């Protein structure tokens, strides 16, 4: 069993008592930087199933003016913004909604490739509190590829309305990453979310994410051989183990990415992590 990530902010106000206009939030020293990104100390990705409130969280943290454009080579919109918190500058990337890292729609590929290959400093997974079980599929997949994550259980107001109670502390213990309940449309819980992002970004909190059990020995050996080959062919390839497992599973989209040279390009550019978004087309 994983241990709970230790957060000095654990004693902060419960989500229901915090809101964007209250003293806690003001005291958080949040400065919305909108499009004024420039140098960022940390890159934070907002991932999650469609319609869970990622863009609402994004707007609340960065302000209304944001940098939008397309992801290089795709017609998928890319939104970037920035904020400053406790003296650190954060670049926030709002990813398209995705049900699974194994999916192949263009939107989902963009999200998958960013998480896998750009390796944000913190991945905030935004989940719908009223559909938590279904959302956990993506949460567990993301926790397989990063150990710097925060789970934001959003729409807590809706969950409450339906009489649902979410035990965020137990979830944090089970998942091994900080879990924050929010009602982003009302600004509730955002102060705690900011603190959790900072805790993980700065390493103050070390996550011990829930991971699937090790595969059987025969498969382990096949993965090891493939990882070696991949790392030789693509020096600097992040998450080579994940790629190897997808290849062994016969994942057509990964095979195609190798055939077409897209994987090489992703590794070369580290999936546009450092590339500024293109100006929005009128
Ligand atoms: N009740 C309630 N509604 C919310 C909350 N957060 C977001 N919403 C609403 O949920 C809807 C979807 O929000 P978005 O922020 O667009 O969700 P998203 O995850 O960015 O959606 P996609 O980008 O399409 O995947 C909007 O109508 C929001 O106003 C919340 O905490 N409570
Ligand atoms: Mg959105």
What pLDDT does 267 receive? 84
Report percent pLDDT > 90 for the chain.
56
CA of 72 to the centre of ligand 2 (A): 18
Q: Looking up tokens 């943290």, which residue turns up?
A: 61
Confidence of residue 33 (pLDDT cuts 50, 70, 90): low
Write the DSSP assignment of 106-164 as a string of letters: HHHHHHHHIIIII--SEEEEEEEGGGHHHHHHHHHHHHHH-S-EEEEEE-HHHHHHTT-
Question: Which two three-digit tokens encode residue 95?
Answer: 């990813």
The tens digit of pLDDT for each residue in 101-142 reads 987 788 888 888 889 888 899 999 999 999 999 999 999 999
Greater pLDDT, 65 or 207:
207
Residue nearest to atom 31 of ligand 1 (CA): 183
Banded pLDDT at 195 (limits 50, 70, 90) = very high
**Which residue's CA is the closest to the ligand 1 atom numbered 21?**
51
Query: Which residues, 6+ apart, have CB-to-CB distance to 4 below 8 Å?
Result: 169, 172, 173, 176
| 211-222 average pLDDT score | 88
Residues facing residue 44 across a β-bridge: 92, 122
pLDDT in tens, 46-104: 999 999 999 999 999 988 666 667 777 677 777 888 899 998 999 999 999 999 998 77
- Which percentage of the chain shows pLDDT scores above 70? 79
Q: Are 52 and 128 in contact (CB under 8 A)?
A: yes
What pLDDT, on the 0 to 100 scale, is given for residue 68? 67
C-alpha 242 to ligand 2 mean position (Å): 26
CA-based nearest residue to 237, from 229, 248, 249: 229
Question: 152 CA to middle of ligand 1, Å?
Answer: 13
Q: What pLDDT, on the 0 to 100 scale, is given for residue 207?
A: 94
Q: What angle do CA 117, 181, 80 make, to 5 degrees?
A: 40
Query: What separation in Å is there between the alpha carbon of 184 and the centre of ligand 1?
Result: 8
Distance CA(144)–CA(101), nearest Å, equals: 10
How does pLDDT run across 234-255, given as a tens digit for each residue? 998 989 999 999 999 999 888 9
- CA distances (Å), 248 to each of 15, 208, 218, 245, in order? 43, 26, 12, 5
* Ligand 2 center to 6 CA (angstroms): 30
pLDDT class for 32, splitting at 50, 70, 90?
low
d(CA 280, CA 68): 5
Q: Which atom of ligand 1 is nearest to the CA of 49?
A: 25
Report residues whose beta carbon is within 6 angstroms of any ligand 1 atom.
48, 50-56, 97, 154-155, 157-158, 183-185
Q: What is the pTM assigned to this prediction?
A: 0.83
**Nearest ligand, measured from the Cα of 53:** 1
How many angstroms separate the Cα of 49 from the Cα of each of 8, 19, 66, 161? 29, 24, 22, 21
Cα–Cα distance measured from residue 56 to residue 31, given in angstroms and rounded to the nearest whole number: 17
| E strand or H helix that includes residue 56 | helix 54-62
Looking at all shown ligands, the one closest to residue 125's CA atom is 1
């Amino acid at each position: 069993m994983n241990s709970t990530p230790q957060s000095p902010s654990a004693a902060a106000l419960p989500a229901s008592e915090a809101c964007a206009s209250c003293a806690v939030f003001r005291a958080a020293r949040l400065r919305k930087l909108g499009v004024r990104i420039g140098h960022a100390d940390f890159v934070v990705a907002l991932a999650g199933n469609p319609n869970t409130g990622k863009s609402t969280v994004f707007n609340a943290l960065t302000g209304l003016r944001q940098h939008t454009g397309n992801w290089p080579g795709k017609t998928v919109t890319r939104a970037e913004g920035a904020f400053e918190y406790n003296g650190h500058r954060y670049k926030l990337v709002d990813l398209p909604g995705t049900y699974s890292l194994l999916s192949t729609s263009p939107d989902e590929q963009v999200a998958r490739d960013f998480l896998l290959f750009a390796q944000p400093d913190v991945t905030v997974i935004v989940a719908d509190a009223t559909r938590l079980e279904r959302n956990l599929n993506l949460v567990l997949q993301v926790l397989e590829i990063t150990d710097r994550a925060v789970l934001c259980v959003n729409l807590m107001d809706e969950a409450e309305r339906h009489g649902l109670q979410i035990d965020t502390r137990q979830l944090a213990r089970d998942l091994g990453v900080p879990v924050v309940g929010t009602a982003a449309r009302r600004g509730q819980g955002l102060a705690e979310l900011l603190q959790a992002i900072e805790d993980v970004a700065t390493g103050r909190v070390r996550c011990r994410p829930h991971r699937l059990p090790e595969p059987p020995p025969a498969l382990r050996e096949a993965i090891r051989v493939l990882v070696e080959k991949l790392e030789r062919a693509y020096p600097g390839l992040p998450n080579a183990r994940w790629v190897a497992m997808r290849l062994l599973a016969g994942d057509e989209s990964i095979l195609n990415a190798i055939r077409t040279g897209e994987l090489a390009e992703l590794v070369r550019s580290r999936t546009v992590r450092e590339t500024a978004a293109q100006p929005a087309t009128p």
